[in-house]
Structure 1
Amino acid sequence: MNKLAGATASTSEKMDKSVNPPTEWPTDVDHGAETDLHRMLSTRHITMIALGSSIGMGLWLGSGTSLGNGGPAAIFIGYILSGTMIWAVSHSIGELAVMYPLPSAFTQWASMFVDPAAGFALGWGYWFYYWITIANELQGVVTVLNFWTDKLPIAAWITLMWLVIVFINVWAVRLFGEVEVASSSIKFGWIIVVIISLIVVSAGGAPNHDAIGFRYWNAYPFTKGFKGFLTVMPTCIFAMSGSENCALVAAETENPSKSVPKAVGSIWLRLSLFYILGSLVVTISVDPKDVNLFGASGVNASPFVIAYRNAGLEPLAHMMNAVIFISVVSTGSIAAYAGSRTLMGLAHLRKAPKIFGKADKVGRPVAGLVMTLIVGGGLAFLNVTNDSATIFTWFSSLTSLVTLFGWSMICLSHLRMRHAWKVQGRSVAELPWKSWTYPYGAIWALAWCIILIIVEFYLSLFPLGKPTTAKNFFANYITVVAMIVIYIGAKIYYRGPMWVDASTIDLDALRRFYTKPDEEAPREKGVKGNIKNVIGFLFN
């Protein structure tokens, strides 16, 4: 179990051959598998889970608060900027996850390449993020179900949906993977329907025959000025957070060298469809001042649902709400999965109790699952006595800050890994997969993460439409305060310099070696072949 903490002497000697690699690597050298986890997930699982992680309450409901606070232009620009960031982060993940497919991924990468204290703070910060996400998605379920009925008490809805998430995660890992593939396929297929149908609605093709066009862009592109635009960014980051979970899934994937690059290579198209085009069609079909938007004074509905209802397409409004329901339950389930694996990685690094580093005979880290589900489920009951939009704002601010810290550490780990690779005299040709965006992609995302953390500090001090109070500040920025405190405590414990000495990093102890590059399946030619290839690219 503790092999992840370091390689044995004999293994290290064997790995020293990596400077001048042989023709084929031995197939038994796979430190990413030296845990109780089982490699039961395939390329389609890792790709669809990466997608499913980022399609939840942030897109379907959070777009309502962003549209009201920022306006059409603000939300569109916000998603474009956030999309470039996660695209760059995904490429950093690609290089690292193929070579180091570890249970808690970014936590272990940060500990290896940056600093053990940074890895400690990142790991526990991400665990906080995951159970906050569970709570946020559960309270989102209440908002969604209230569209149909408010007869059942909020606590009953939360409990029922929490049990669904528990069931998905305590069953076999492969069942979890299949559930997420199915739900992500539904989300992906539906967003295509949404984009096409809302374009038709905006053009006046709906039963109400109202040709909206760019009416709202012309009337108020930015509803509350530059500050309103800034308030959109945390929600955009929160909406796109979760795509990095493909790094965690790599530890339970049959062949990371094949699965991870495919997920990274296609994520730009999916994010473009989901967020950039999705946000655009919302801005041309929904009035930012609609009182029914989530966060406004009406029924707190999704802007997508409002678009269909205002257009007189009531059946599509109900179908949209059903897809939102599937999305939030799916995202909550992924958060439980990721939280338990993060605790496992922390335990292997001796940064968490040993019990969290163990899994049962079918590969479930039971202790980590129980802890994550209990804390996340318990926190969701805050929604019983508070306004759902207020709780969403708190949680999205907290999770977006952890996400920014996580993305920045992933990019920094990538830069540091390449630096160590160069310092130790290794060739870039030895990397099993190389990102063409290096180093500019990692630098771009890292710089924007730092800028947006500063922006959120400003918004926490001077919130939009609220007074400057200690309560407002800590409600929105407590994550950063907690991370700083955790980092300082860990730094005092671990001591040492600010950075790990690049020349002393063991680049092989936790590395997975591959016998040869994976061969891609031949692509069929002709019209029929092109259609099959496109479908395979989108859904596999």
Structure 2
Amino acid sequence: MLDTNNTKENSLHRSMKSRHLFMISLGGVIGTGLFLSSGYTINQAGPIGTILAYLLGSVIVYLVMLCLGELTVKMPVTGSFHTYATKFIGPGTGFTMAWLYWLTWTVALGSEFTAAGLIMESWFPSISVSIWSAFFIILLFAINAFSVRFFAETEFWFSSIKVIAIILFILIGGLAIFGIIPMEGYNEAPLFSNLVHDGLFPNGFSAVFLTMLAVNFAFSGTELIGVASGETADPEKVIPKTIHTTLIRLIIFFIGSITVISALIPWKEAGVDQSPFVLVLNSMGVPYAGTIMNFVVLTAILSCANSGLYAATRMLWSLSNEKMISKSFSKVTKKGVPMNALFLTMLGGILSLISSIMPAQTVYIVLVSISGLAVVIVWMGIAASQFMFRRSYIKEGNDIKDLKFKTPFYPVVPIVTFILCFLSCVMVVFDPSQRVALFYTIPFVAFCYIFYYARKSMRKNKSLRKQGEVTES
């Protein structure tokens, strides 16, 4: 069993219920990646290519969740995959995975706060973006600092707004596809003519794979189930239930939305300058479409930032709890909140926010490039951890039947998961706009490994010197 080192002053509370975990996993996934970036993917890969890319992405995420499920049900600890990598792959890998995941979310905070400020400025032009951004920073900090249960409840309602909006969008879009709701520019039902108007793959079949990193990044956040497992009541029942519905949820919300968008607007009109959701609603003549979707996007942004702040904070807590960084970050309040870890994570968000609004954006661009690959690398670590765990579990004489949740078709699932994630990283080489991410991510990963083992070596030498001094005395 993993040593969680939980004393009264650093133990987290199991306050989350099934509905909280369900919505938190959605909260980290459904955000600007769906509401804005999906337009870019449609423009690059074409309608059918985008649907295929998101279907493949859904399968990859589901395979990752199957691997994570076996680990989290057996060992439900906060920090999850970094802790498993430490035990079953190596402490250097665990240390690196934790920092990659922390960096992904804390860097994202700055862009989320800035985007929220821009939306508010469009409604209240007399108030600057920075003031609104500062307001949201304080708001989400307070939500996370109050208690774990309060965070979970807030995230539940943030995510609920997104879910309801997407379901309504799919239903209304479906009526438009079959001509029940008239569409501007169409004399008859659009049906699915836009999907194949310029051929199945207007930019070539390879575009499907070139967009995979962006697609996988859009799905990042599903693994929050693992991070939250240490604060979930009855994880043996809650986690498997949540994981088994992952693929269905992703197909409904992502594939459903993108199919509607691709069917109702020409793929060349899609992009990131305006949400494709707004384009569709405007084409239907829905009054105040821009305002309605801006409100939904605002809740989506705040939801992602809320989940991201939670995830990054728990990663720091876990690193501290595993004695990889200062023990001060594992101390929690009476309500189970790791306040020091929360402060440091929010500081990272503030730094990202500052860099995003300054003329010199080099540092921020570098960090965003690193985070673009970070989640996919973490997924590879999850697959490798499950593969090594099962081998270790059998080697120790344990019976597979005793596992409450079993990754099916072992070892095929973890191996295929690892290969698919690896190929997503390799595809970056062939995309000039994303290739730069490799040049920053590889050195960052190398730095984490070097830092960990250099620090370990220094501690070992220090311990040996102390032993020598005791022996001499």
Under a length normalisation based on structure 2, what TM-score does the superposition of the two structures give? Answer: 0.88
CA displacement at 1:68 relative to structure 2: 2.1
What whole-Å deviation, never above 9, does each CA across 1:372-418 have from its counterpart, x for those lacking one? 11111220233324699x99997765333111111111111111100
Cα distance in structure 1, aligned partners of 2:383 and 2:180:
45
Cα distance in structure 2, aligned partners of 1:110 and 1:271:
26
CA displacement at 1:492 relative to structure 2: 5.4
Report the CA distance shift for 1:333/1:199 in structure 2 as closer, same or farther (over 3 A): same
Which of 32, 36, 44 aligns to 1:69? It is 44
Report the CA distance shift for 1:392/1:490 in structure 2 as closer, same or farther (over 3 A): closer
Does the alignment pair 1:371 with 2:344? yes
CA displacement at 1:476 relative to structure 2: 6.1
Residue 335 of structure 2 corresponds to 362
Residue 152 of structure 1 corresponds to 127
Report the CA distance shift for 1:386/1:200 in structure 2 as closer, same or farther (over 3 A): farther
Does the alignment pair 1:280 with 2:264? no
What whole-Å deviation, never above 9, does each CA across 1:288-313 have from its counterpart, x for those lacking one? 3227x31xxxxx22110111012211
Report the CA distance shift for 1:490/1:397 in structure 2 as closer, same or farther (over 3 A): same
Unaligned runs of at least 5 residues, structure 2: 458-473
Report the CA distance shift for 1:68/1:120 in structure 2 as closer, same or farther (over 3 A): same
8 Å contact 1:305–1:318 — kept in the other structure?
Answer: no
8 Å contact 1:250–1:260 — kept in the other structure?
Answer: yes
Residue 25 of structure 2 corresponds to 50
Q: Which amino acid aligns with 1:325?
A: L
How many positions carry a matched residue from both structures?
452
Cα distance in structure 2, aligned partners of 1:384 and 1:206:
42
Does the alignment pair 1:487 with 2:449? yes
Cα distance in structure 2, aligned partners of 1:231 and 1:85:
15
Cα distance in structure 2, aligned partners of 1:310 and 1:374:
42
Which of 327, 345, 355 aligns to 2:300? It is 327
Which of 161, 165, 168 aligns to 1:193? It is 168
8 Å contact 2:9–2:333 — kept in the other structure?
Answer: no
Cα distance in structure 2, aligned partners of 1:87 and 1:60:
21
Q: Which amino acid aligns with 1:449?
A: C
Runs of 4 or more consecutive aligned structure 1 residues displaced over 6 Å after TM superposition: 31-34, 390-396
CA displacement at 1:257 relative to structure 2: 0.6
Report the CA distance shift for 1:147/1:205 in structure 2 as closer, same or farther (over 3 A): farther
8 Å contact 1:169–1:176 — kept in the other structure?
Answer: yes
CA displacement at 1:227 relative to structure 2: 5.5
Report the CA distance shift for 1:223/1:269 in structure 2 as closer, same or farther (over 3 A): same
Under a length normalisation based on structure 1, what TM-score does the superposition of the two structures give? Answer: 0.78
Residue 93 of structure 1 corresponds to 68
Unaligned runs of at least 5 residues, structure 1: 6-30, 295-299, 464-471, 496-540
Which of 388, 392, 399 aligns to 1:420? It is 392
Which of 445, 462, 466 aligns to 2:417? It is 445
8 Å contact 2:369–2:436 — kept in the other structure?
Answer: no
Residue 218 of structure 2 corresponds to 239
Q: Which moved more, 1:252-261 or 1:308-317?
A: 308-317
Matches within 5 A, 1:168-247: 168-208=143-183, 210=186, 211-220=189-198, 221-226=200-205, 228-247=207-226
Report the CA distance shift for 1:267/1:473 in structure 2 as closer, same or farther (over 3 A): closer
8 Å contact 1:57–1:140 — kept in the other structure?
Answer: no
Residue 121 of structure 1 corresponds to 96
Q: Which amino acid aligns with 1:265?
A: H
CA displacement at 1:114 relative to structure 2: 0.5
Q: Which amino acid aligns with 2:130?
A: A
Which of 335, 340, 354 aligns to 2:313? It is 340
Cα distance in structure 2, aligned partners of 1:217 and 1:392:
37
Cα distance in structure 1, aligned partners of 2:213 and 2:8:
36
For the aligned residues, what is the CA RMSD? Answer: 2.8
Residue 518 of structure 1 corresponds to none
Does the alignment pair 1:382 with 2:355? yes
Q: Which moved more, 1:249-258 or 1:226-235?
A: 226-235
Higher helix share: 2
What whole-Å deviation, never above 9, does each CA across 1:76-126 have from its counterpart, x for those lacking one? 111111100110111111111111111211110000001111001111111
Q: Which amino acid aligns with 1:51?
A: L
Matches within 5 A, 1:162-173: 162-173=137-148
Partner of 2:269: helix, strand, or coil? coil
Residue 515 of structure 1 corresponds to none
CA displacement at 1:131 relative to structure 2: 0.3
Report the CA distance shift for 1:395/1:276 in structure 2 as closer, same or farther (over 3 A): farther
Report the CA distance shift for 1:76/1:3 in structure 2 as closer, same or farther (over 3 A): closer
Identity over the aligned pairs, expressed in percent?
26
8 Å contact 2:24–2:156 — kept in the other structure?
Answer: yes
CA displacement at 1:457 relative to structure 2: 3.2
Cα distance in structure 2, aligned partners of 1:396 and 1:261:
32
Cα distance in structure 2, aligned partners of 1:179 and 1:339:
17
Partner of 1:360: helix, strand, or coil? coil
Residue 509 of structure 1 corresponds to none
Cα distance in structure 2, aligned partners of 1:408 and 1:247:
15
